[in-house]
Amino acid sequence: MTEPMHCYRHPKRETRVSCATCGRPICTECMVATDVGIKCPDDARLPRGARAGVMKADQVLRSILAGVGIAVAGIPVAYVLFLLPFTWLISAAAGYGAGVLINRAGGRNGGPLAILISVLATAVPFLVLLAPDLLAGTLNARPLIAMVFAVIAAGVANRRI
């Protein structure tokens, strides 16, 4: 049993149908049948996936600023992480947190650009700390694995379907 809802375009009309994309209730007159379900006119007009992963210029700028901030703030964080047990696990959590912050800064759009910024912002602190070992050729697997976990988690936080 579904509660009767009211069409978002016609508040006086009751409906039991809602848009497959945005979930807003729509009346039978407004609904558009698509091959991926019933949609509101706004979403039916857009090609699939057009709402996700598209950031406006100011959102891109905010994402980049957040990414730079996280890259800088992440250096001491990564330094502490390397001293702790379960570095990879905490790194993954920190990476995910960084990804979420960047996602929010970009208006929660997610998408390829947000993933790229998150991945770079998360990788930078690790690379800064690992650079001496990298150059000396004495890099061991532990910090590298932690970096991979953090980077993947940051990317996953921005994944949108």
| Residues forming the site for Zn ion (CB under 5 A) | 7, 9-10, 19, 21-22, 27, 30, 40, 43
Q: Which is nearer to Zn ion, 8 or 82 (CB)?
A: 8
* Minimum separation from the CB atom of position 39 to Zn ion (A): 5
Q: 15 - beta bridge partners? A: 5
> Could you give phi then psi for residue 28, rounded to 5 degrees?
-65, -25
Least distance to Zn ion, CB of residue 160, Å: 16
Q: Of 3 and 12, which CB lies nearer to Zn ion in the complex structure?
A: 12
The whole-angstrom separation of Cα 58 and Cα 31 is 33
Q: Which is nearer to Zn ion, 43 or 126 (CB)?
A: 43
Round to whole Å and give the CA distance between 81 and 97.
14
* Least distance CB 114 / Zn ion (angstroms): 22
Nearer to Zn ion, 7 or 151 (CB): 7
Q: Minimum CB separation from Zn ion for residue 10, in Å?
A: 4
**Using CA atoms, how far apart are residues 72 and 68, in angstroms rounded to an integer?**
6
SS3 38: strand
Q: Within its chain, how far is the Cα of 54 from the centroid?
A: 12
Single-letter residue type at 134: L
